[in-house]
């Protein structure tokens, strides 16, 4: 039979390990979102520049249709870049919310406030709604 100190040490080690893995998962999801968003931002910027170049050249040559097409390409690039930027922001918020909800639930477990898995899930849903409301 293990003594109380050994049990406490095992629990503490488990919590430290869990915290390290949570942080690694959080960091990897943030990097993934930023890299994906950055690629789309670059593509959007390229479309914007290409559209301006096409529209400018064809507009100077007197082609109204060419100028219109260039503007449409440019507008598409601007929209793509804005959507990618928002995707990065949203991914950061999602990661932050998930991390904070998990931290709060884990803290309440330590205090013995979680009486069942059902209570834990209900609390998680309510905390997520509350954080999303203010972020």
Q: Give the separation between CA 85 and CA 111, rounded to whole angstroms.
A: 40
Q: Which of 39, 135, 37 is nearest to 94 (CA)?
A: 135
Q: Give the separation between CA 104 and CA 76, rounded to whole angstroms.
A: 42
The reported pTM is: 0.54
* pLDDT tens, residue by residue, 37-85: 677 777 777 787 887 888 788 777 787 887 788 888 888 888 888 888 8
Average pLDDT of 111-132?
86
* pLDDT tens, residue by residue, 33-46: 666 667 777 777 77
* pLDDT tens, residue by residue, 1-44: 466 666 666 666 666 666 666 666 666 666 666 666 677 777 77
Within 8 A by CB and 6+ apart from 77, the residues are: 43, 44, 45, 46, 47, 48, 49, 50, 51
């Amino acid at each position: 039979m293990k003594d109380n100190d050994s049990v406490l040490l095992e629990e503490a080690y488990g919590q430290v390990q869990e915290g390290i893995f949570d942080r690694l998962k959080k960091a990897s999801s943030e990097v993934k979102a930023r890299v994906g968003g950055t690629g789309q931002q670059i593509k959007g910027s390229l479309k914007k520049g290409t559209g301006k170049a096409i529209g400018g050249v064809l507009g100077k040559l007197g082609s109204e249709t060419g100028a219109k097409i260039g503007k449409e390409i440019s507008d598409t690039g601007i929209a793509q870049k804005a959507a990618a930027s928002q995707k990065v922001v949203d991914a950061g918020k999602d990661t932050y919310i998930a991390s904070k909800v998990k931290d709060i639930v884990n803290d309440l477990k330590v205090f013995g406030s979680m009486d069942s898995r059902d209570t834990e899930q209900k609390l998680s849903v309510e905390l997520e709604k509350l954080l999303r409301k203010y972020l």
